[in-house]
Amino acid sequence: MATYQLHINGAKKSIDVAEGTSLLWVLREHLGLTGTKYGCGIAQCGACTIHVNGNPMKACVMPVDGVSSGQKITTIEGLDDLGNHPLQQAWIDVQVPQCGYCQSGQIMQAAALLANNPSPSRDEIVTHMNGNLCRCGTYMRILKAIQKAAGKEVAVNEGD
């Protein structure tokens, strides 16, 4: 066991866990920040995507040891104080989520893109988002919501 000082969502947290414990379990089971999800444990699905110093990272493969020297960790709970990030608003406007389990990770991944590239092309979005799985198949709407949040007019469903 060791004590780690973490900087999460603007607050300092102290946590006693075994060395090498994954940041995902620390966030979820020890700190109760359950918006970050467990999906695969091997960085293949993106359900656990968080930001470390603004970069999208997969918490499931990050030992807590590696993020306890002042790195700024942001989870979905800390993305926006009121939950009003333009992506969160766009996710509601476009009615993206179905089961919703992957969506924290999707939004965190997308937020990191827009922070660096406020006006990404479709290809840039697809490339950036390709590591995040959605089993309900909401990809079309995720794409649309990111384009919407980026201020782009997007074609709506043309069926009737």
Partner 1 sequence: MKYSKSKTDSTNRRQFIKRSGGIALLIGASGILPQFISCKNPSHVAAQLKKHQITSWIKMSEDGKIVIYNPAAEMGQGSMTSLPAIFAEEMDANWDNVQVEFSPQISNTYGSDGWGSGRKIMLSAGSRVTKGYYSLLRKAGAQARFILMHNAARIWNVPIDGLSTSDGHVLDENSGMKIAYGDLVKDLVVPEEIPDFELHQLKNPKDFKFIGHDLPRTDIPAKTNGSAQFAIDVILPGMLYGVLERGRVHGAKPTLTNSDEIMKLPGILHLVSFDYAIGIIGERIENVLAAKSRLEIEWSDAIASTFNSEEIYDEYKRVADKERDEKVVVEKGNTKKAIRSAARLFSADYKNDYVYHAQMEPLNAVVQIAEDGASATAWVGSQQGFDSKLGIPEVLDMDPEKVHINLQYLGGGFGRRSMTDFVKECTILAKEVPGQPIKLMWTREDDLTYGAFRPMSLQRLQAGIDSNGRITGFSHTVIGDGDNLLASGIRNDHYEIPNQYAALKIIPHGIRLKHWRGVGHGPNKFAIESMIDQIAHSLGKDPIDFRRTLMSESPKALATLNKAAAMSGWNQPNLQGRAKGVAFIERSGTLSTGVCEISLDENTGKIRVHYFWSASDAGVVIQPDNVKAQMEGGIIMGMSSVFKERISIIDGAVQQSNFDDYELLRMADIPERIETAIIKSDGPPQGVGESGTPLVAGAVANAFLALTGKHLRHLPFTPERVLEALNS
Q: Which residues bind partner 1 (CB under 8 A)?
A: 17-18, 21-22, 25, 28-30, 32-42, 44-45, 47, 75-77, 79, 83, 88, 91-92, 95-104, 107, 125-127, 129-143, 155, 157-160
* Residue placing its CB nearer to partner 1 in the complex, 7 or 35: 35
User: Shortest approach of partner 1 to residue 53 CB, angstroms?
Assistant: 20
C-alpha–C-alpha distance, residues 79 and 56, integer Å: 12
For residue 42, the tally of other CB atoms under 10 A from its CB is: 9
C-alpha–C-alpha distance, residues 20 and 124, integer Å: 34
* Residue placing its CB nearer to partner 1 in the complex, 13 or 100: 100
In this structure, are residues 17 and 4 in contact, taking their beta carbons and an 8 Å threshold?
yes
Count CA atoms within 13 Å of residue 61 on its CB side. Answer: 13
User: Shortest approach of partner 1 to residue 116 CB, angstroms?
Assistant: 18
Dig out the tokens for 44 from the structure. 């293949």
* Residue placing its CB nearer to partner 1 in the complex, 67 or 102: 102
Dig out the tokens for 29 from the structure. 């089971």
User: Shortest approach of partner 1 to residue 121 CB, angstroms?
Assistant: 14
* Residue placing its CB nearer to partner 1 in the complex, 7 or 85: 85
User: Shortest approach of partner 1 to residue 12 CB, angstroms?
Assistant: 20
122-129 vs 139-149: helix crossing angle, rounded to 10: 120
